[in-house]
A and B are shown apart, each in its own frame.
Chain A
Amino acid sequence: MKYGVYIELFGEFYEGTVFIYGTTLLLIYAFLAIMSLVAVRKFKVLDSRVDYTLLLNSIHTPGISVIAPAYNETITILENVHSLLNLNYPKYEVIIVNDGSTDDSLEKMIAEFDLIEVDFAYNERLKTKPVKRIFRSTNLAYSKLVVVDKINGKSKADASNAGINVSSFDYFLCTDVDSILDRDAIMKLIKPIMEETDKRLIAIGATLRMANSCVVDQGFMQKVVMPKQLLPRFQEIEYIRSFVMGKMGWSTINSVPNVSGGLGLFDREIVINSGGYDPNSFGEDMELVIRMMVYCVNYNIDYSIRYIPLTLCWTEGPSTLRVYGRQRSRWARGLAQLMYAHRKVIFNPRYGKLGLIVMPYNFVFELLAPIVEALGIIYYIIIIILDAVNWPYAILLLVFVYSYAIMISTLSILWDQLTYHTYKTWREILLLCFTAMFEMIIYHPLIVFFSLKGYFNFLANRKHSWGNMQRQGFGQAAQTRAITASN
């Protein structure tokens, strides 16, 4: 039984490592849960008395550029641009980047908003695919609107970069043209920037949710409804946990790893100096945020990145397994790419919290987690076959991990409910909590599987992907949206 010895040796090593790994992860979650609760409660008390109309009346209100790339969104483009033009903020511009759409979305915008081509002094500070034309409206009511027509760059990153080049204000809000924003989104996001004491707030985000079953009328959120389909509902739980508990918790110690591409307010100068979005990245939002942090450390800028526990953006989540799988594999691949590109930062004390908290956490507990889990399952199968399982211990540990996971998800839902009664009925919340119980056996294996697929793609195509990029999920997201919107 030579193999048995090896397996036993591996087993001891694996069990020891996994024990430390698991305990650390559980402690981190407990920490995040406590920190985010404190932060959420504090936010709620103070925000209720904030007079946001101060921003409307002051000539000192900072200007904001809202950047939304669009690719073949003809069905919803007019409604969505209208809704972006209707945010509660006195000084902002809306930049729609038409990324070489092959449908008639540009023509539709030209007709609806009385657009004409203008001689625009375009300063290409970030290199992108060529910008063909820039349009402004002759109708004073749409004077906020800028439409950029560019050659398709096969990525949201390239289109966003063109938008950044056109933008005229110090801060820009990055979103998708098919996302639905809360009308107060800019006011809520700019306030922390104006309240930052001695650090430079380079990026700020807020909670994103699923728009799948919500009632949307002419680009406006009429009624928030919890996703009726199972897959988006699992994603809703995942988003709440990752935003309200994860990012809010990390925000309290200034270690937010990512500001989502769906909604984020960024410091334009830092973004441009750190090189803008990377069109070759599979996870361009996180990649940019990490690169901005690296830039700030390199140039001795005392930065901060924050989160606010309000849902300010709704986005359509994939509702079929195929689309979902592609999205997750892409994200996983993006994470692997990112960790590889910035491997020198991991555990590097020179980078402060970025080097010692943000990168190690994401490397060990985000990137490696699917691998550790997969190995665990294989290991279990082997010892089951060898009949070397201590069943009662195994069951007790499993029950423990399972109940802990459910607790974390349920607490996130509770924290989220503290700030705002998102759903109209209590039945929705209970159903959401109920769904959380099956997350680990139904939804979680999917994440592990698609992540591993993404890592495999990363390893298999590493050289290839540098020069030659496949179209990313941007177009994919557009498709799903178009399909659901036409229903």
Chain B
Amino acid sequence: MLSFIVADSLFGPFFRKYFYYYDSYPVVIQIAVFLTAVAISATIIAYLSIIFRRGKGYLTDVRTRKINTFIDNLITDNIIFNEEILAGVPPQDVKLDLEPFQKQVFSQGWVKQALVDRLIYFANSFSGDRNLLFKRLFVELELEKLSFNKLKSFNNSTKILGLVELTSMSVAVADVLILPLTNSRNRKLRSEARIAYIKLSKNDPFKFFDDATEPLLLWDQLELFKIITTTEGLTIPNFARWITYSTNKSIVSFCLKLVVHYNQHAAIPSIVKLLDNKDHYLRVEAIKCLGKLKADDIEEKLIAIYNNQPLNCQIEILKAIGRFSTGKQIQFLRGEFIRTSDFDIKKNAARSLINHGRAAKDIVQNLIDTATADGAIILKHCMNPLIKY
């Protein structure tokens, strides 16, 4: 009690004088007091949400781990060790026992979602007959309804998740559902929709190649390439069509990669036309593609345009000649190696000479003996099997 009186007599006047008259403070101080209150509450909320998230995260982790082990065992027992599959029944004729997957636990939303996630994980880990069974299980348990519901969401991220689930499990989706999404303003959604369209659409799956205006990003190309080259039953068109007519450079360059993969020699004339394209990055792609296709009848033409090309195209031409290895241009390569002072040209000329193997062996040896120290070391560099690049 005494201490209270002492404290009051010490601090009381001070507080009464200044702090009690909030209204009389200058505006700046009023704002400061207000924002202090905001900052302190924000900090407290942040604390609480850290603790809350942590606790929730911990519980979810424990729960998910438990349910995942349960689901994994269920899938392993019923699908991996499916007796009919082991007995040699074709996967489309196997009668799936759905009962274990329709137990009470699976009525909960999050358990259902966990089942979807694990099925996708299994499908990504195991191919062949089992893979088909995972996908059949997904459909027969009507889990695709969950994914279709996600497609209807207003949230783009949720839509993307739905699409990814459907594509992973190869569920057929009506064109009317996907096509509008292939033109979505959300980049990620657009690209996932295209992947889904190629994989899941029954009609002309390469349709969007015709009217895609914005660039096809490298990452999307990676995904599309995988889908195109691994989807069974996809009719592969002649990609020359887009190489000739598409105004979208990234579509053209993507088609060049596909042409190489499918070894479409029929596309060579349309690729040769690209050599006159104004964009030198695209010319590089075209020359690279011709080299990989071993289209050695255009070797003469490449040599003819060589001198008018920028450095990156010249390097690509040298590489292509190495890939052709016809033996007709050994003197050209040797000449370039001696003439140039550019490191990269010299290195690529040397590498292409060495790629000729026995046909250029004497010339290479002769060059090592007569070239400058720098030149000789470039040749040795390219000949050394320990150095890859």
Contact = CB atoms under 8 A, between A and B. Distances in A.
Interface of A: 19, 42, 45-46, 49, 51, 53-55, 57-58, 60-63, 93, 116, 118-121, 123, 136-138, 143, 168-169, 191, 193-198, 391-393, 396-397, 399-400, 403-404, 406-407, 410-411, 413-414, 417-418, 421, 426, 429-430, 433
B50 A417 contact: yes
B222 A55 contact: yes
Contact of B347 (A116, A121, A169, A196): A121
Contact of B384 (A119, A404, A421): A119
Given A60-B222, A403-B43, A136 B54 contact: no
A165 to B, nearest CB: 11
Contacts of B219: 191, 194-195
Contacts of B54: 417, 421, 426, 429
Contact of B157 (A46, A54, A197, A404): A46
A391 B15 CA distance: 11
B223 A54 contact: yes
A63 B389 CA distance: 11
Interface of B: 14, 17-19, 25-26, 28-29, 32-33, 35-36, 39-40, 42-43, 46-47, 49-51, 53-55, 57-58, 124, 157, 160-161, 164, 187-188, 214-215, 217-223, 225-226, 257, 343-344, 347, 374, 377-378, 380-382, 384, 386-389
Contacts of A392: 17-19
Nearest to B254: A60
Contact of B46 (A19, A397, A411): A411
A196 B344 CA distance: 28
Contacts of A397: 29, 32
B35 A404 contact: yes
Given A54-B223, A195-B218, A396-B29, A137 B46 contact: no
A168 B26 CA distance: 64
A449 to B, nearest CB: 26
B388 A143 contact: yes
30 contacts: A46-B160, A46-B188, A49-B160, A51-B124, A51-B223, A54-B223, A60-B218, A60-B257, A62-B218, A63-B389, A93-B388, A118-B387, A120-B377, A121-B382, A136-B387, A194-B222, A195-B217, A197-B215, A198-B215, A392-B17, A399-B36, A400-B32, A400-B33, A407-B42, A407-B43, A414-B49, A421-B54, A426-B51, A426-B54, A433-B47
A136 B50 contact: no
Contact of A396 (B32, B40, B387): B32
A122 to B, nearest CB: 8
Those 3 A-B pairs whose CB atoms lie nearest each other, nearest first: A392-B18, A168-B389, A194-B218
Nearest to B347: A121
A421 B53 CA distance: 10
A325 B32 CA distance: 34
A123 B226 contact: no
B57 A410 contact: no
Given A46-B157, A407-B39, A411-B42, A54 B226 contact: yes
Contacts of A169: 389
A104 B221 CA distance: 47
Contacts of B32: 396-397, 400
Contacts of A393: 25-26, 29
- Which of A49, A116, A198, A418 counts the most B-chain CB atoms under 10 A from its CB? A49
B47 A138 contact: no
A426 B53 CA distance: 10
Nearest to B158: A45
Contacts of A399: 36
